[in-house]
C-alpha cells in the first residue's frame, strides 16, 4: 500500500512519517529517471528522457542541500544528448537549483546554463520499507550562443528512489 506522507523536507526529518526505524538527518542519495516535454529555443517541441543521481545533506529542518549529475536525450527536430550537473536547496515544498550542461558535439550549442524549480511528493511503500519521490519540475535552459539557440523550456516528471547513508 502506498500513502502520501509529506514534502521532501518532512520526509527526511525524524518527526515526519518515515519508514519503520526512521530516517535521521544526514547524508543520502536519490537515483531515478525523468520524462519531459521540451519547447522553445532551437526546439519547436520535443520529448526528453534522462537519468539522474543526487546526493543530499540535511542542513536544518526543513532545508537540505543537494547536488545532482545526470544525462538526458532530447528527441525533437534532431536528437540532442547532454550530460549535466546541478546544485540547489530543498526549501520545505520546493527544490530550487541551477546547473550547467555540455552539448555533445554536433547536437546543439556546446554550453548550457539552466535553472531548476521542482516540487517532490514522497511515496512511502510500507510493505517494502522504501521511500520514492515523484517530482514535477520546470527547467529553463539557455544554450550558448543564445542568439543561435535561444532559451528552451523543459516541463517534466522525475521518479526517484531514496537511499540513506548509515550514520556511524
Q: Are 84 and 119 in contact (CB under 8 A)?
A: no
60-111 pLDDT per residue, tens:
767 889 999 999 998 877 788 899 999 999 887 789 999 999 887 666 667 8
Q: Tell me the CATH number at 109.
A: 2.40.160
122-161 pLDDT per residue, tens:
887 655 556 788 999 999 999 887 777 788 899 999 999 8
Number of domains in the chain: 1
Average of per-residue pLDDT across 40-61? 86
Q: Cα torsion at 14, 17, 18, 19 (round to 10°)?
A: 140
Which pLDDT score, from 0 to 100, does residue 79 have?
A: 81
Q: Are 28 and 19 in contact (CB under 8 A)?
A: no
The C-alpha atoms of residue 126 and residue 110 are separated, in whole angstroms, by: 45
Name the residue range of residue 42's domain.
2-19+27-164
3-45 pLDDT per residue, tens:
333 344 445 444 445 544 444 556 888 899 999 999 988 777 8
Amino acid at each position: 500500500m502506498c500513502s502520501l506522507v509529506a514534502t521532501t523536507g518532512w520526509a527526511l526529518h525524524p518527526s515526519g512519517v518515515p519508514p519503520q526505524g526512521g530516517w535521521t538527518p544526514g547524508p543520502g542519495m536519490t537515483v531515478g529517471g525523468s520524462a519531459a516535454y521540451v519547447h522553445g529555443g532551437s526546439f519547436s517541441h520535443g520529448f526528453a528522457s534522462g537519468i539522474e543521481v543526487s546526493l543530499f545533506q540535511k542542513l536544518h529542518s526543513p532545508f537540505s542541500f543537494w547536488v545532482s549529475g545526470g544525462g538526458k536525450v532530447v528527441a525533437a527536430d534532431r536528437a540532442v544528448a547532454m550530460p549535466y550537473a546541478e546544485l540547489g536547496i530543498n526549501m520545505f515544498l520546493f527544490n530550487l537549483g541551477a546547473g550547467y550542461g555540455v552539448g555533445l558535439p554536433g547536437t546543439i550549442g556546446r554550453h548550457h546554463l539552466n535553472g531548476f524549480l521542482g516540487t517532490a511528493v514522497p511515496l512511502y511503500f510500507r510493505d517494502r520499507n522504501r521511500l520514492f519521490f515523484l517530482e514535477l519540475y520546470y527547467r529553463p535552459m539557455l544554450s550558448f550562443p543564445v542568439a543561435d539557440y535561444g532559451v528552451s523550456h523543459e516541463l517534466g516528471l522525475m521518479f526517484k528512489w531514496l537511499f540513506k547513508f548509515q550514520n556511524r
